[in-house]
C-alpha cells in the first residue's frame, strides 16, 4: 500500500511538472535551418546530438536566416567559425544561446547572424534533471 502510494505521487508529481505546450514526440536536438527567414528557401532539418559540434551544410554556411530549435528543453550556441576552429574573441565567437524561445530564430538577419552562422553545438537545459535518459 505504501509502495503504490509512492508510485502514484511520483506519477502525479511528474504530471504536474509537464509543460502546457505539448512536447510529446518532439525529440531533443531537432533544429530547422534555412537560407531565408520563416523557414523559407533551402532548408535542412535534423535531430542533432547534444554536446557535439556540427558544421552547417555548405549551402547554409554564412547564409542561414532561420535557425529554429524545436520546442524542447535544449538550446544551441551558434558559432562564427567551423568546429574545432580557433576563436580569438573573448566573447567566445558565439551569439549566445538560441532555443525555441529565442525571438529571432525565424529571422536571424535581425541580429546579423545569418551572415555568420557556420557551426553550432546544442546542450540540454540544466533544469531538466527529471529525465532518466541522461
Ligand atoms: C532552455 O535554456 C535556454 C537558454 O538559457 C532558454 O532560453 C530556454 O527558455 C530554456 N528552455 C526551457 C524549455 O527551459
Ligand atoms: C527580417 O529582419 C530584417 C531586419 O530586421 C527585416 O528587414 C526583414 O524584413 C525581416 N524579414 C522577415 C521575413 O520578417
Ligand atoms: C538540477 O540539478 C542541479 C545540480 O545537479 C540542482 O542544483 C538543481 O536543483 C536541480 N534542478 C531540479 C529542478 O531538480
Name which residue leads in pLDDT, 4 or 81: 81
Per-residue pLDDT at 27: 77
| Helix/strand/coil for 28 | coil
Is the pTM higher than 0.85? no
Residue 31 has pLDDT above 60, yes or no: yes
Pairing of β 30-34 and β 74-79: unpaired
Ligand in closest contact with the CA of 104: 2
- The CA 46 to ligand 2 mean position distance, Å, reads 25
Give the number of the atom of ligand 1 that is nearest the alpha carbon of residue 101.
9
The grid coordinates listed for 118 are 557556420
What the chain holds in terms of domains, given with CATH numbers, is 30-124 (2.60.20.10)
Exposure string for 77-115, b = 16+ CB within 10 A, e = fewer: bbbbbeeeeeeeeeeebbbebbbbebebbbebeeeebbe
Relative to the CA of 130, which ligand 3 atom is closest?
14
For residue 131, give the ligand nearest its CA. Answer: 3
pLDDT digits (tens, 9 = 90+) for 63-73: 999 999 999 99
For the CA of 126, the nearest atom of ligand 3: 1
Instruction: Note the pLDDT tens digit of each residue in 59-97.
Output: 999 999 999 999 999 999 999 999 999 998 888 899 999
- Cβ 39 under 6 angstroms from ligand 2: no
Amino acid at each position: 500500500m505504501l509502495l503504490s502510494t509512492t508510485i502514484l505521487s511520483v506519477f502525479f508529481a511528474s504530471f504536474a511538472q509537464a509543460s502546457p505546450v505539448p512536447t510529446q514526440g518532439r525529440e531533443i536536438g531537432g533544429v530547422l535551418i534555412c537560407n531565408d527567414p520563416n523557414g523559407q528557401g533551402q532548408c535542412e532539418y535534423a535531430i542533432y546530438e547534444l554536446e557535439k559540434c556540427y558544421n552547417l551544410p555548405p549551402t547554409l554556411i554564412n547564409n542561414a536566416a532561420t535557425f529554429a530549435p524545436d520546442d524542447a528543453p535544449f538550446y544551441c550556441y551558434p558559432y562564427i567559425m567551423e568546429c574545432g576552429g580557433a576563436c580569438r574573441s573573448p566573447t567566445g565567437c558565439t551569439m549566445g544561446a538560441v532555443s525555441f524561445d529565442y525571438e529571432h530564430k525565424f529571422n536571424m538577419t535581425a541580429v546579423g547572424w545569418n551572415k555568420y552562422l557556420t557551426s553550432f553545438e546544442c546542450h540540454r537545459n540544466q533544469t531538466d534533471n527529471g529525465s532518466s535518459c541522461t
